[in-house]
Amino acid sequence: MTLEDTAQVVIVGSGMGGSTLAWGLAHRGIDVLVVERGDYLPAEAQNWSPEAVFADRRYRPDEWWLDPVGRRFRPGVHYLVGGNTKVYGSSLPRLREQDFGRTVYPAGVSPPWPFTYADLEPYYCQAESLYRVHGTTGEDPSEPWRSQPYPYPAMSHEPYVQTTIERLRAQGLHPSSTAMGIDLQPGGACIRCRTCDGFPCRLGAKSDAQTCALGPALMTGLVRLLTNTRITRIETAGNADDRVTALIGERDGEPVRITGGNFVISAGAANSAALLLRSTSDRWPQGVGNDTRLVGTNYMVHNNTHIAAVDPRRRNDVTFAKTVAVNDRYLDFGDGYPGGTLQAIGKVQGVMMKTHATKVPLSLLNRIADRSSEWLVMSEDIPSRANRVTVDADGTIRVHWQRTNYDRHELLLAWAKSVLRKAGYTGIFEQRFDIGLNSHMCGTVVAGLSSDESVLDPWCRMHSVRNCWVVDSAFFPSSGAQNPALTIAAQALRVAAEGQGFDSG
Ligand SMILES: Cc1cc2nc3c(=O)[nH]c(=O)nc-3n(C[C@H](O)[C@H](O)[C@H](O)COP(=O)(O)OP(=O)(O)OC[C@H]3O[C@@H](n4cnc5c(N)ncnc54)[C@H](O)[C@@H]3O)c2cc1C
Ligand code: SF4
Protein backbone atom coordinates (compact mmCIF):
# COMPACT_ATOMS: atom_id res chain seq x y z
CA MET A 1 0.00 0.00 0.00
CA THR A 2 1.29 3.47 -0.85
CA LEU A 3 2.07 5.73 2.12
CA GLU A 4 0.59 9.15 1.36
CA ASP A 5 1.18 12.43 3.14
CA THR A 6 0.87 16.12 2.44
CA ALA A 7 1.95 19.50 3.83
CA GLN A 8 2.09 23.15 2.90
CA VAL A 9 5.88 22.87 2.51
CA VAL A 10 7.67 19.55 2.05
CA ILE A 11 11.44 19.53 2.68
CA VAL A 12 13.65 16.66 1.44
CA GLY A 13 16.57 16.20 3.84
CA SER A 14 17.13 17.16 7.48
CA GLY A 15 20.74 18.35 7.32
CA MET A 16 22.02 21.87 7.88
CA GLY A 17 19.91 23.40 5.11
CA GLY A 18 16.67 21.43 5.57
CA SER A 19 16.46 21.48 9.37
CA THR A 20 17.34 25.17 9.66
CA LEU A 21 14.77 26.06 7.02
CA ALA A 22 12.13 23.98 8.84
CA TRP A 23 12.89 25.93 12.04
CA GLY A 24 12.58 29.25 10.20
CA LEU A 25 9.34 28.34 8.42
CA ALA A 26 7.78 27.07 11.64
CA HIS A 27 8.46 30.48 13.16
CA ARG A 28 6.51 31.96 10.25
CA GLY A 29 3.58 29.71 11.18
CA ILE A 30 3.93 27.46 8.15
CA ASP A 31 3.04 23.76 8.17
CA VAL A 32 6.13 21.70 7.22
CA LEU A 33 6.86 18.02 6.58
CA VAL A 34 10.56 17.03 6.57
CA VAL A 35 11.31 13.79 4.70
CA GLU A 36 14.63 12.20 5.65
CA ARG A 37 16.13 9.02 4.19
CA GLY A 38 18.09 8.24 7.37
CA ASP A 39 17.18 7.46 10.95
CA TYR A 40 18.00 9.03 14.29
CA LEU A 41 21.61 8.39 15.27
CA PRO A 42 21.54 6.35 18.50
CA ALA A 43 23.38 7.61 21.60
CA GLU A 44 25.71 4.68 22.29
CA ALA A 45 29.25 3.88 23.40
CA GLN A 46 30.43 3.66 19.78
CA ASN A 47 29.72 7.38 19.26
CA TRP A 48 33.10 8.15 20.79
CA SER A 49 35.04 5.11 19.57
CA PRO A 50 37.70 5.97 16.93
CA GLU A 51 37.63 2.32 15.81
CA ALA A 52 33.86 2.33 15.27
CA VAL A 53 33.62 5.78 13.70
CA PHE A 54 36.78 5.90 11.57
CA ALA A 55 37.92 2.29 11.01
CA ASP A 56 34.47 0.62 10.79
CA ARG A 57 32.67 3.73 9.38
CA ARG A 58 29.72 2.91 11.57
CA TYR A 59 27.67 5.97 10.67
CA ARG A 60 28.49 6.08 6.96
CA PRO A 61 26.21 4.48 4.35
CA ASP A 62 27.54 1.61 2.27
CA GLU A 63 27.27 3.77 -0.80
CA TRP A 64 29.67 4.17 -3.69
CA TRP A 65 29.85 6.92 -6.27
CA LEU A 66 31.91 6.96 -9.47
CA ASP A 67 34.73 9.23 -10.59
CA PRO A 68 34.90 10.40 -14.24
CA VAL A 69 36.57 7.17 -15.43
CA GLY A 70 34.27 4.86 -13.51
CA ARG A 71 36.41 4.13 -10.42
CA ARG A 72 34.30 3.68 -7.30
CA PHE A 73 34.77 5.83 -4.20
CA ARG A 74 32.91 6.20 -0.91
CA PRO A 75 31.65 9.78 -0.52
CA GLY A 76 31.73 11.78 2.73
CA VAL A 77 27.98 11.62 3.32
CA HIS A 78 25.96 10.61 6.38
CA TYR A 79 22.31 9.69 5.91
CA LEU A 80 20.98 10.53 9.36
CA VAL A 81 18.47 12.86 10.98
CA GLY A 82 20.69 15.97 11.04
CA GLY A 83 22.69 14.86 8.00
CA ASN A 84 26.42 15.50 7.94
CA THR A 85 26.19 17.82 10.92
CA LYS A 86 25.79 14.80 13.23
CA VAL A 87 29.53 14.18 12.82
CA TYR A 88 30.81 17.56 11.71
CA GLY A 89 33.54 19.48 13.46
CA SER A 90 31.18 22.28 14.65
CA SER A 91 33.56 24.94 13.41
CA LEU A 92 31.15 27.71 12.44
CA PRO A 93 32.92 30.73 10.94
CA ARG A 94 31.32 33.29 8.66
CA LEU A 95 32.55 33.75 5.13
CA ARG A 96 34.45 37.00 4.73
CA GLU A 97 32.86 40.06 3.13
CA GLN A 98 35.07 39.77 0.04
CA ASP A 99 33.94 36.15 -0.52
CA PHE A 100 30.58 37.52 -1.64
CA GLY A 101 32.15 39.61 -4.36
CA ARG A 102 33.97 38.80 -7.60
CA THR A 103 37.36 37.40 -6.61
CA VAL A 104 40.18 37.34 -9.12
CA TYR A 105 42.91 34.70 -8.96
CA PRO A 106 45.79 34.13 -11.40
CA ALA A 107 43.98 30.94 -12.50
CA GLY A 108 40.53 32.49 -13.00
CA VAL A 109 37.62 34.24 -11.37
CA SER A 110 35.43 33.19 -8.48
CA PRO A 111 32.02 34.71 -9.29
CA PRO A 112 30.05 37.10 -7.06
CA TRP A 113 27.05 36.02 -5.03
CA PRO A 114 23.62 37.43 -5.93
CA PHE A 115 23.46 39.07 -2.50
CA THR A 116 25.98 40.80 -0.30
CA TYR A 117 27.51 40.07 3.06
CA ALA A 118 25.36 42.90 4.45
CA ASP A 119 22.21 41.13 3.20
CA LEU A 120 23.19 37.93 5.03
CA GLU A 121 24.69 39.53 8.15
CA PRO A 122 21.48 39.62 10.28
CA TYR A 123 20.97 35.93 9.51
CA TYR A 124 24.56 35.11 10.45
CA CYS A 125 23.71 36.63 13.85
CA GLN A 126 20.54 34.54 14.06
CA ALA A 127 22.37 31.37 12.99
CA GLU A 128 25.13 31.97 15.57
CA SER A 129 22.49 32.27 18.25
CA LEU A 130 20.59 29.16 17.08
CA TYR A 131 23.80 27.11 16.84
CA ARG A 132 25.31 28.45 20.13
CA VAL A 133 28.47 29.75 18.54
CA HIS A 134 31.41 30.60 20.82
CA GLY A 135 33.89 33.12 19.49
CA THR A 136 35.60 36.45 19.96
CA THR A 137 36.43 39.53 17.91
CA GLY A 138 39.53 41.64 17.50
CA GLU A 139 42.02 38.82 16.97
CA ASP A 140 41.53 37.79 13.36
CA PRO A 141 42.80 40.18 10.66
CA SER A 142 40.34 38.75 8.14
CA GLU A 143 37.18 38.88 10.28
CA PRO A 144 34.19 40.61 8.68
CA TRP A 145 32.20 43.32 10.49
CA ARG A 146 29.31 42.17 12.67
CA SER A 147 26.25 43.91 14.08
CA GLN A 148 26.09 41.79 17.24
CA PRO A 149 28.73 40.13 19.41
CA TYR A 150 29.13 36.35 19.46
CA PRO A 151 26.48 34.79 21.69
CA TYR A 152 29.14 33.05 23.81
CA PRO A 153 32.81 33.75 24.60
CA ALA A 154 35.46 31.80 22.71
CA MET A 155 36.55 28.41 24.02
CA SER A 156 39.71 28.58 26.10
CA HIS A 157 42.97 27.25 24.72
CA GLU A 158 44.61 24.35 26.55
CA PRO A 159 48.28 24.82 27.63
CA TYR A 160 49.70 22.82 24.69
CA VAL A 161 47.72 24.96 22.22
CA GLN A 162 48.61 28.16 24.10
CA THR A 163 52.32 27.38 23.68
CA THR A 164 51.80 26.88 19.94
CA ILE A 165 49.90 30.16 19.76
CA GLU A 166 52.80 31.98 21.42
CA ARG A 167 55.20 30.46 18.91
CA LEU A 168 52.97 31.62 16.07
CA ARG A 169 52.69 35.11 17.57
CA ALA A 170 56.50 35.25 17.82
CA GLN A 171 56.49 35.01 14.02
CA GLY A 172 54.32 38.13 13.79
CA LEU A 173 51.15 36.12 13.06
CA HIS A 174 47.69 36.69 14.56
CA PRO A 175 46.30 33.33 15.68
CA SER A 176 42.62 33.68 16.54
CA SER A 177 39.96 31.67 18.32
CA THR A 178 37.94 29.28 16.19
CA ALA A 179 34.19 29.98 16.10
CA MET A 180 32.74 26.81 17.62
CA GLY A 181 29.17 25.57 18.03
CA ILE A 182 28.97 23.52 21.21
CA ASP A 183 26.96 23.62 24.45
CA LEU A 184 29.87 24.62 26.71
CA GLN A 185 28.49 27.59 28.62
CA PRO A 186 27.69 27.26 32.36
CA GLY A 187 24.99 24.62 32.71
CA GLY A 188 25.71 23.31 29.21
CA ALA A 189 25.94 19.61 28.41
CA CYS A 190 29.43 19.59 26.85
CA ILE A 191 32.17 17.88 28.88
CA ARG A 192 34.95 19.04 26.50
CA CYS A 193 36.03 15.58 25.37
CA ARG A 194 38.66 14.39 22.89
CA THR A 195 36.27 12.82 20.39
CA CYS A 196 34.32 15.69 18.89
CA ASP A 197 35.62 16.54 15.39
CA GLY A 198 34.31 13.80 13.08
CA PHE A 199 32.42 11.99 15.87
CA PRO A 200 28.76 12.20 16.93
CA CYS A 201 28.21 13.69 20.39
CA ARG A 202 26.91 11.11 22.81
CA LEU A 203 25.54 13.86 25.05
CA GLY A 204 23.71 15.87 22.40
CA ALA A 205 26.01 18.81 23.20
CA LYS A 206 27.26 19.40 19.67
CA SER A 207 25.39 22.12 17.81
CA ASP A 208 24.17 19.90 15.01
CA ALA A 209 21.10 20.53 12.88
CA GLN A 210 18.92 18.02 14.70
CA THR A 211 19.77 19.29 18.18
CA CYS A 212 19.60 23.03 17.48
CA ALA A 213 17.05 23.39 14.68
CA LEU A 214 14.94 20.33 13.86
CA GLY A 215 14.28 19.29 17.47
CA PRO A 216 13.00 22.76 18.47
CA ALA A 217 11.06 22.98 15.17
CA LEU A 218 9.28 19.68 15.93
CA MET A 219 8.37 21.05 19.36
CA THR A 220 6.34 23.85 17.74
CA GLY A 221 3.84 21.26 16.48
CA LEU A 222 3.99 22.83 13.02
CA VAL A 223 6.77 20.59 11.74
CA ARG A 224 6.58 16.82 11.25
CA LEU A 225 9.38 14.41 10.34
CA LEU A 226 9.19 11.24 8.24
CA THR A 227 12.38 9.20 8.75
CA ASN A 228 13.77 6.30 6.71
CA THR A 229 12.06 7.68 3.63
CA ARG A 230 14.12 8.15 0.49
CA ILE A 231 12.75 10.41 -2.22
CA THR A 232 13.64 9.03 -5.63
CA ARG A 233 11.67 11.20 -8.01
CA ILE A 234 10.09 14.63 -8.32
CA GLU A 235 6.77 14.69 -10.19
CA THR A 236 5.77 17.79 -12.11
CA ALA A 237 2.55 18.95 -13.73
CA GLY A 238 2.16 18.76 -17.48
CA ASN A 239 3.48 21.09 -20.15
CA ALA A 240 1.24 24.00 -19.33
CA ASP A 241 2.21 24.41 -15.70
CA ASP A 242 5.79 24.30 -14.42
CA ARG A 243 5.01 23.12 -10.92
CA VAL A 244 6.12 20.26 -8.73
CA THR A 245 3.06 18.24 -7.74
CA ALA A 246 4.45 15.35 -5.68
CA LEU A 247 7.51 13.53 -4.42
CA ILE A 248 7.81 9.82 -5.02
CA GLY A 249 9.93 7.60 -2.81
CA GLU A 250 10.11 4.50 -0.70
CA ARG A 251 10.06 3.60 2.97
CA ASP A 252 11.04 0.10 4.11
CA GLY A 253 10.43 -1.14 0.58
CA GLU A 254 6.94 0.37 0.41
CA PRO A 255 6.04 3.16 -2.04
CA VAL A 256 5.57 6.72 -0.77
CA ARG A 257 3.81 9.64 -2.43
CA ILE A 258 3.90 13.08 -0.85
CA THR A 259 1.90 16.00 -2.17
CA GLY A 260 1.99 19.61 -1.06
CA GLY A 261 1.91 23.25 -2.05
CA ASN A 262 5.65 23.87 -2.11
CA PHE A 263 8.74 21.67 -2.21
CA VAL A 264 12.28 22.18 -0.99
CA ILE A 265 15.17 19.94 -1.94
CA SER A 266 17.83 19.94 0.82
CA ALA A 267 19.50 16.59 0.22
CA GLY A 268 23.11 17.90 0.13
CA ALA A 269 24.91 19.28 -2.95
CA ALA A 270 25.39 16.03 -4.86
CA ASN A 271 22.12 14.34 -3.89
CA SER A 272 20.00 17.43 -4.55
CA ALA A 273 21.42 17.72 -8.06
CA ALA A 274 21.05 13.97 -8.61
CA LEU A 275 17.39 14.02 -7.55
CA LEU A 276 16.60 16.84 -9.98
CA LEU A 277 18.55 15.10 -12.77
CA ARG A 278 16.86 11.72 -12.20
CA SER A 279 13.41 13.31 -12.42
CA THR A 280 13.05 13.42 -16.17
CA SER A 281 9.74 13.78 -18.02
CA ASP A 282 8.43 14.97 -21.40
CA ARG A 283 8.48 18.54 -20.07
CA TRP A 284 11.88 18.15 -18.40
CA PRO A 285 13.89 15.66 -20.48
CA GLN A 286 17.16 16.77 -18.78
CA GLY A 287 15.69 16.78 -15.27
CA VAL A 288 13.52 19.21 -13.31
CA GLY A 289 14.47 22.85 -13.88
CA ASN A 290 17.33 21.83 -16.14
CA ASP A 291 16.39 23.37 -19.46
CA THR A 292 19.63 25.37 -19.26
CA ARG A 293 21.67 22.24 -18.43
CA LEU A 294 23.15 23.94 -15.40
CA VAL A 295 21.90 21.44 -12.79
CA GLY A 296 24.88 19.48 -11.48
CA THR A 297 27.51 21.95 -12.69
CA ASN A 298 29.90 24.06 -10.61
CA TYR A 299 30.56 21.27 -8.09
CA MET A 300 33.09 22.54 -5.53
CA VAL A 301 34.75 21.01 -2.47
CA HIS A 302 37.52 23.44 -1.37
CA ASN A 303 41.18 22.68 -1.85
CA ASN A 304 42.05 20.99 1.42
CA THR A 305 45.08 19.29 2.94
CA HIS A 306 45.44 17.78 6.41
CA ILE A 307 48.78 18.21 8.11
CA ALA A 308 50.10 16.17 11.03
CA ALA A 309 52.93 18.29 12.47
CA VAL A 310 55.28 16.51 14.88
CA ASP A 311 57.32 18.22 17.57
CA PRO A 312 59.35 15.34 19.07
CA ARG A 313 60.21 17.42 22.16
CA ARG A 314 56.60 18.04 23.18
CA ARG A 315 54.00 15.47 24.20
CA ASN A 316 50.60 16.58 22.99
CA ASP A 317 48.25 16.00 25.92
CA VAL A 318 45.47 18.18 24.52
CA THR A 319 41.84 17.17 24.98
CA PHE A 320 40.07 19.68 22.73
CA ALA A 321 42.53 20.96 20.13
CA LYS A 322 40.27 22.74 17.66
CA THR A 323 40.37 26.22 19.21
CA VAL A 324 42.79 28.16 16.99
CA ALA A 325 43.03 29.33 13.38
CA VAL A 326 45.51 31.50 11.48
CA ASN A 327 43.91 33.76 8.88
CA ASP A 328 46.75 36.20 8.23
CA ARG A 329 46.93 35.07 4.59
CA TYR A 330 43.18 34.76 4.00
CA LEU A 331 42.33 38.06 2.32
CA ASP A 332 45.71 38.56 0.68
CA PHE A 333 48.46 36.00 0.47
CA GLY A 334 50.95 38.80 0.11
CA ASP A 335 50.88 38.95 -3.68
CA GLY A 336 47.53 40.70 -4.14
CA TYR A 337 45.48 37.48 -4.36
CA PRO A 338 43.63 35.67 -1.54
CA GLY A 339 45.31 32.75 0.22
CA GLY A 340 43.17 30.79 2.65
CA THR A 341 43.02 29.52 6.20
CA LEU A 342 45.12 27.33 8.49
CA GLN A 343 43.02 25.76 11.25
CA ALA A 344 43.76 23.37 14.09
CA ILE A 345 41.49 20.31 13.89
CA GLY A 346 40.42 17.79 16.54
CA LYS A 347 43.18 15.61 18.01
CA VAL A 348 43.81 12.75 15.63
CA GLN A 349 44.57 9.37 17.20
CA GLY A 350 46.76 6.62 15.74
CA VAL A 351 43.84 4.43 14.72
CA MET A 352 42.36 7.35 12.79
CA MET A 353 45.67 7.89 10.94
CA LYS A 354 45.65 4.19 10.06
CA THR A 355 42.58 4.60 7.85
CA HIS A 356 44.80 6.54 5.41
CA ALA A 357 48.34 5.43 6.30
CA THR A 358 47.29 1.80 5.91
CA LYS A 359 50.83 0.40 5.54
CA VAL A 360 52.30 2.10 8.61
CA PRO A 361 52.23 -0.03 11.81
CA LEU A 362 49.67 1.19 14.36
CA SER A 363 52.33 1.30 17.10
CA LEU A 364 54.34 3.84 15.06
CA LEU A 365 51.21 5.89 14.30
CA ASN A 366 50.38 5.97 18.01
CA ARG A 367 53.90 7.27 18.75
CA ILE A 368 53.48 9.97 16.09
CA ALA A 369 50.02 10.92 17.39
CA ASP A 370 51.46 11.28 20.88
CA ARG A 371 53.62 14.19 19.69
CA SER A 372 51.69 15.57 16.75
CA SER A 373 49.30 18.43 16.26
CA GLU A 374 46.82 18.32 13.37
CA TRP A 375 45.81 21.12 11.03
CA LEU A 376 43.65 21.81 8.02
CA VAL A 377 44.94 24.00 5.20
CA MET A 378 41.96 25.27 3.20
CA SER A 379 41.81 27.44 0.09
CA GLU A 380 39.17 28.28 -2.47
CA ASP A 381 38.45 26.21 -5.56
CA ILE A 382 36.95 28.00 -8.55
CA PRO A 383 33.61 26.79 -9.95
CA SER A 384 33.68 25.27 -13.39
CA ARG A 385 30.97 23.89 -15.65
CA ALA A 386 33.18 20.83 -16.25
CA ASN A 387 33.22 19.92 -12.56
CA ARG A 388 29.79 18.43 -12.22
CA VAL A 389 27.52 15.75 -10.84
CA THR A 390 25.75 13.49 -13.31
CA VAL A 391 23.73 10.31 -12.87
CA ASP A 392 24.36 7.08 -14.74
CA ALA A 393 21.50 5.13 -16.32
CA ASP A 394 21.19 2.97 -13.18
CA GLY A 395 20.94 6.11 -11.01
CA THR A 396 24.51 6.01 -9.62
CA ILE A 397 26.05 9.40 -8.91
CA ARG A 398 29.12 10.23 -10.99
CA VAL A 399 31.35 13.12 -9.95
CA HIS A 400 33.39 14.79 -12.68
CA TRP A 401 36.05 16.59 -10.69
CA GLN A 402 39.41 18.10 -11.42
CA ARG A 403 41.20 20.40 -9.02
CA THR A 404 40.92 24.10 -9.85
CA ASN A 405 42.99 27.02 -8.51
CA TYR A 406 45.44 24.49 -7.06
CA ASP A 407 48.55 26.67 -7.52
CA ARG A 408 47.15 28.91 -4.81
CA HIS A 409 46.74 25.90 -2.56
CA GLU A 410 50.36 24.85 -3.14
CA LEU A 411 51.49 28.31 -2.07
CA LEU A 412 49.33 28.31 1.04
CA LEU A 413 50.40 24.79 1.95
CA ALA A 414 54.10 25.66 1.63
CA TRP A 415 53.53 28.74 3.81
CA ALA A 416 51.60 26.70 6.42
CA LYS A 417 54.39 24.14 6.63
CA SER A 418 57.06 26.78 7.06
CA VAL A 419 55.03 28.48 9.80
CA LEU A 420 54.61 25.19 11.63
CA ARG A 421 58.30 24.31 11.23
CA LYS A 422 59.25 27.65 12.77
CA ALA A 423 56.85 26.82 15.64
CA GLY A 424 58.94 23.73 16.43
CA TYR A 425 57.28 21.03 14.35
CA THR A 426 60.23 19.34 12.67
CA GLY A 427 58.24 16.48 11.14
CA ILE A 428 55.40 17.33 8.74
CA PHE A 429 53.10 14.72 7.20
CA GLU A 430 50.40 15.75 4.77
CA GLN A 431 47.24 14.21 3.34
CA ARG A 432 45.80 15.97 0.35
CA PHE A 433 42.04 15.59 0.02
CA ASP A 434 41.01 13.39 -2.89
CA ILE A 435 37.65 12.95 -4.61
CA GLY A 436 36.22 10.96 -1.69
CA LEU A 437 37.06 13.60 0.94
CA ASN A 438 34.20 15.82 -0.19
CA SER A 439 32.62 16.79 3.10
CA HIS A 440 32.66 20.50 2.11
CA MET A 441 30.91 19.89 -1.20
CA CYS A 442 28.85 22.77 -2.55
CA GLY A 443 27.62 24.25 -5.80
CA THR A 444 25.70 22.07 -8.35
CA VAL A 445 22.42 24.06 -8.20
CA VAL A 446 23.75 27.58 -7.84
CA ALA A 447 21.93 30.81 -7.01
CA GLY A 448 22.28 33.88 -9.18
CA LEU A 449 20.52 36.84 -10.69
CA SER A 450 19.85 35.44 -14.13
CA SER A 451 18.51 32.12 -15.37
CA ASP A 452 21.28 32.04 -18.01
CA GLU A 453 23.88 31.52 -15.33
CA SER A 454 22.03 30.01 -12.39
CA VAL A 455 19.25 27.61 -11.48
CA LEU A 456 18.04 29.45 -8.37
CA ASP A 457 17.16 33.04 -7.61
CA PRO A 458 18.85 34.86 -4.68
CA TRP A 459 16.33 33.24 -2.25
CA CYS A 460 17.08 29.73 -3.54
CA ARG A 461 13.80 29.47 -5.49
CA MET A 462 14.07 27.87 -8.92
CA HIS A 463 13.92 30.35 -11.77
CA SER A 464 11.85 27.95 -13.86
CA VAL A 465 9.80 25.92 -11.34
CA ARG A 466 8.43 28.45 -8.92
CA ASN A 467 7.08 26.13 -6.21
CA CYS A 468 10.47 24.41 -5.84
CA TRP A 469 13.51 25.60 -3.81
CA VAL A 470 16.95 24.10 -3.21
CA VAL A 471 18.20 25.07 0.25
CA ASP A 472 21.48 23.40 1.11
CA SER A 473 25.13 23.83 0.12
CA ALA A 474 24.13 23.36 -3.55
CA PHE A 475 23.19 27.04 -3.83
CA PHE A 476 26.78 28.32 -3.25
CA PRO A 477 27.91 30.32 -6.31
CA SER A 478 31.50 30.09 -5.01
CA SER A 479 33.07 28.28 -2.09
CA GLY A 480 35.19 30.90 -0.29
CA ALA A 481 37.74 29.28 1.99
CA GLN A 482 35.91 28.94 5.28
CA ASN A 483 33.88 26.00 6.59
CA PRO A 484 30.45 26.14 4.94
CA ALA A 485 27.85 25.13 7.53
CA LEU A 486 27.11 28.50 9.19
CA THR A 487 26.60 30.09 5.77
CA ILE A 488 24.18 27.29 4.78
CA ALA A 489 22.25 27.91 8.01
CA ALA A 490 22.25 31.71 7.60
CA GLN A 491 20.92 31.48 4.06
CA ALA A 492 18.23 28.98 5.16
CA LEU A 493 17.10 31.49 7.79
CA ARG A 494 17.12 34.28 5.18
CA VAL A 495 15.06 32.16 2.79
CA ALA A 496 12.60 31.30 5.58
CA ALA A 497 12.21 34.95 6.61
CA GLU A 498 12.24 36.70 3.23
CA GLY A 499 11.32 33.97 0.73
CA GLN A 500 8.08 34.64 -1.15
CA GLY A 501 5.52 31.98 -1.93
CA PHE A 502 5.92 29.46 0.90
CA ASP A 503 2.47 30.23 2.26
CA SER A 504 0.73 29.92 -1.10
CA GLY A 505 0.09 26.87 -3.28
C1 LIG B 1 33.37 14.74 9.14
C2 LIG B 1 32.83 16.08 8.74
C3 LIG B 1 33.27 17.22 9.39
C4 LIG B 1 32.77 18.47 9.01
N5 LIG B 1 33.14 19.57 9.75
C6 LIG B 1 32.60 20.77 9.45
C7 LIG B 1 32.88 21.91 10.25
O8 LIG B 1 33.60 21.83 11.26
N9 LIG B 1 32.32 23.09 9.90
C10 LIG B 1 31.51 23.21 8.80
O11 LIG B 1 31.06 24.32 8.51
N12 LIG B 1 31.22 22.14 8.04
C13 LIG B 1 31.73 20.93 8.34
N14 LIG B 1 31.39 19.83 7.59
C15 LIG B 1 30.50 20.03 6.43
C16 LIG B 1 29.05 20.22 6.85
O17 LIG B 1 28.63 19.16 7.66
C18 LIG B 1 28.20 20.30 5.57
O19 LIG B 1 28.65 21.42 4.82
C20 LIG B 1 26.71 20.50 5.85
O21 LIG B 1 26.19 19.51 6.71
C22 LIG B 1 25.97 20.45 4.52
O23 LIG B 1 24.61 20.73 4.75
P24 LIG B 1 23.53 20.30 3.68
O25 LIG B 1 22.21 20.73 4.17
O26 LIG B 1 24.01 20.75 2.34
O27 LIG B 1 23.63 18.69 3.61
P28 LIG B 1 23.58 17.59 4.75
O29 LIG B 1 23.84 18.18 6.06
O30 LIG B 1 24.49 16.48 4.33
O31 LIG B 1 22.08 17.07 4.72
C32 LIG B 1 21.51 16.38 3.64
C33 LIG B 1 20.39 15.50 4.18
O34 LIG B 1 19.59 15.00 3.12
C35 LIG B 1 19.28 13.62 3.34
N36 LIG B 1 19.00 13.05 2.03
C37 LIG B 1 19.88 12.89 0.99
N38 LIG B 1 19.22 12.35 -0.07
C39 LIG B 1 17.93 12.18 0.29
C40 LIG B 1 16.78 11.65 -0.39
N41 LIG B 1 16.85 11.25 -1.66
N42 LIG B 1 15.60 11.57 0.29
C43 LIG B 1 15.51 12.00 1.59
N44 LIG B 1 16.58 12.50 2.27
C45 LIG B 1 17.77 12.61 1.63
C46 LIG B 1 20.55 13.11 3.99
O47 LIG B 1 20.33 11.90 4.69
C48 LIG B 1 20.91 14.27 4.92
O49 LIG B 1 20.27 14.17 6.17
C50 LIG B 1 31.85 18.57 7.95
C51 LIG B 1 31.38 17.41 7.32
C52 LIG B 1 31.86 16.17 7.71
C53 LIG B 1 31.35 14.94 7.01
S1 SF4 C 1 33.49 18.12 23.05
FE2 SF4 C 1 31.45 18.47 23.88
S3 SF4 C 1 30.12 18.70 22.07
FE4 SF4 C 1 32.01 17.71 21.39
S5 SF4 C 1 31.56 15.49 21.46
FE6 SF4 C 1 32.57 16.08 23.44
S7 SF4 C 1 30.85 16.52 24.81
FE8 SF4 C 1 30.02 16.54 22.72
Q: Indicate if ligand 1 lies below 6 Å from the C-beta of 94.
A: no
State the closest ligand 1 atom to the C-alpha of 209, by its place in the atom list counted from 1. 29
> E strands along 285-351, which residues?
303-310, 324-326, 340-344
What is the C-alpha to C-alpha distance for residues 210 and 20, in angstroms, rounded to an integer? 9
Question: Mean per-residue pLDDT for 384-397?
Answer: 97
Question: Mean per-residue pLDDT for 143-158?
Answer: 98
Q: Which of 20, 53, 80, 84 gets mutated to test ligand 1 (max ligand atoms within 8 A of its CB)?
A: 84
Q: What percent of the chain has pLDDT over 90?
A: 94
- Give pLDDT tens digits for 302-336: 999 999 999 999 999 999 999 999 999 999 999 99
Q: Which of 87, 201, 202 gets mutated to test ligand 2 (max ligand atoms within 8 A of its CB)?
A: 201
Q: Which of 85, 132, 182, 199 gets mutated to test ligand 2 (max ligand atoms within 8 A of its CB)?
A: 182
Q: What pLDDT band is residue 240 in, cutting at 50, 70 and 90?
A: low
What is the C-alpha to C-alpha distance for residues 304 and 96, in angstroms, rounded to an integer? 18
Question: Mean per-residue pLDDT for 174-190?
Answer: 96
- The residue contributing the CA closest to ligand 2 atom 2 is 190
If residue 269 lies in a helix (H) or strand (E), which one and from where to where? helix 269-278
Domains of the chain by range and CATH? 3-498 (3.50.50.60)
Report whether 260 contacts 412 (CB < 8 A): no
Gap from CA of 132 to ligand 2 centroid (Å): 13
The pLDDT, as a whole number, for residue 168 is 98
Residue 223, pLDDT above cutoff 70: yes
Q: Which ligand is nearest to the CA of 204?
A: 2
Residue 170, pLDDT above cutoff 80: yes
Q: Which ligand is nearest to the CA of 206?
A: 2
What is the C-alpha to C-alpha distance for residues 152 and 132, in angstroms, rounded to an integer? 7
Query: ∠ CA 204-179-425 to the nearest 5 degrees?
Result: 105
State the closest ligand 1 atom to the C-alpha of 275, by its place in the atom list counted from 1. 41
- Give pLDDT tens digits for 464-499: 999 999 999 999 999 999 999 999 999 999 999 999
SS3 234: strand
Q: What pLDDT band is residue 57 in, cutting at 50, 70 and 90?
A: very high
Q: What pLDDT band is residue 338 in, cutting at 50, 70 and 90?
A: very high
State the closest ligand 1 atom to the C-alpha of 82, by its place in the atom list counted from 1. 49
- Please tell me the pTM assigned to this model: 0.98
